[in-house]
Amino acid sequence: MRTIAVLVAIIVLSVSWIGSRAESAADIAPGRIVDTSEHDYTYEEMLDDLEQLAVRYPDYIRWSVADTSLEGRGIPIVRLGRDDAPCHMMIQATMHAREHMSTHLVMVMIEGTAWKRMHGVSHEGLRIYDILDKIQLTVLPMVNPDGVEICQRGAEGCRLDETRRWVEEMAARGVSHRLIKSNARGVDLNRNFTNGHGRAFNAVRSKHFYHYPGHQPLTEPEVKAMMQTLIQRPYDLCLNYHTSGNIVYYGCGNAPDSVNSRARRMARVIGKRTRYPLYGPEVSERPNGSWADEVELNFGVPSATVELGSRNPVPQRELSGLLRRNGETWLDLILDIERSKGITVN
């Protein structure tokens, strides 16, 4: 009798454990592909995970190389869902090298989304399969792979002699490779776009680990990869992951009100879920050549930027908490995009 009671208790506990796991994108099924343990999530690991994800979810995930970085690394582009979906969202992470925790988070969220779709999980009373059927997610999970390799491995992470010499020079001047935001040419990718290029308050004048916008806009291969991706779909939202602050930026100072108000609406959806405070164009820095400034003004696409974590670089131990807070935001945003376009999910 006691054995039966223990068995029943184990079964009940197991079912509720599976149930609670299924509710969170942060912590999905046993046998998951993307390792959520505290570690530096590397470029090679990401490529390996993408291979495996595409095999496990062949009807939902596919990936290819958008373009190659300065040092010749492929910049992956991931498509979730069908090309002819009525809605589109573009997600990018890790334009800034030392912010590679964002790639880790995005990769876990890609897997969580696919897993929940396959396993019939629901969100807000609707089947996730049906919610995702109306949208394609286009994800650039690591825009700046050269910078990430430098950040994580120093001079050993460089493929080109010129890059290696530069990293060694910076080290000799006491600048740790762990601080790098730029790409392998010392250009801050998130300052290399056209709208307000070179106007950042903290811009530097030459090649540097951070804040050098380049001698003119759109010079960097990684930036060109983003622009190519941008023109391929009529995106309803560009969602961006950076670190740090646990806040959300949205909009752009010189973009039309109609675009900023859509961005505000999206930011509120994120804020409602994560409890992160919101900062709009009224209080943010003026346009300074960032990706958000580009997509809002020149393409009319609303932009929301989530700044993850308490400080830079984000301590590894914060990953699980970040996943808990952010894990459901894609589904919230997708539902809001679909509803705002009058698309019924049932």
Residue 96 lies near Zn ion (rule: CB under 5 A): yes
Question: Which of 36, 102 has the CB closer to Zn ion?
Answer: 102
Could you give the CA distance from residue 277 to residue 226 in angstroms, rounded to a whole number? 27
Residue 104 lies near Zn ion (rule: CB under 5 A): no
Question: Which of 27, 40 has the CB closer to Zn ion?
Answer: 40
**Closest approach of Zn ion to the CB of residue 53, in Å:** 25
Q: Which amino acid is at 289?
A: G
Given the rule CB under 5 A, which of 78-86, 100-108, 238-246, 328-336 is the region that contacts Zn ion? 238-246
Question: Which of 69, 113 has the CB closer to Zn ion?
Answer: 69
Taken as a whole, the chain contains a residue count of 346
Any long-range contacts for 171-178 (C-beta under 8 Å, 24+ apart)? 175/209, 177/150, 177/151, 177/153, 178/98, 178/151, 178/313
Residue 88 lies near Zn ion (rule: CB under 5 A): no
Residue 264 lies near Zn ion (rule: CB under 5 A): no
Could you give the CA distance from residue 25 to residue 77 in angstroms, rounded to a whole number? 21
Given the rule CB under 5 A, which of 241-249, 250-258, 275-283, 334-342 is the region that contacts Zn ion? 241-249
**Closest approach of Zn ion to the CB of residue 242, in Å:** 3
Binding Zn ion (rule: CB under 5 A), the pick from 88, 104, 185, 242 is 242
Could you give the CA distance from residue 247 to residue 284 in angstroms, rounded to a whole number? 12
CB 200 within 8 A of CB 285: yes
**Closest approach of Zn ion to the CB of residue 243, in Å:** 6
Prior bond of 313 cis (ω within 30°): yes
Given the rule CB under 5 A, which of 17-25, 72-80, 95-103, 275-283 is the region that contacts Zn ion? 95-103
**Closest approach of Zn ion to the CB of residue 233, in Å:** 23
Q: How far is CA 282 from CA 158, 202, 251, 260, in A?
A: 40, 19, 9, 10
Could you give the CA distance from residue 154 to residue 147 in angstroms, rounded to a whole number? 10
Given the rule CB under 5 A, which of 21-29, 76-84, 99-107, 145-153 is the region that contacts Zn ion? 99-107
Residues that bind Zn ion (CB under 5 A): 96, 99, 242
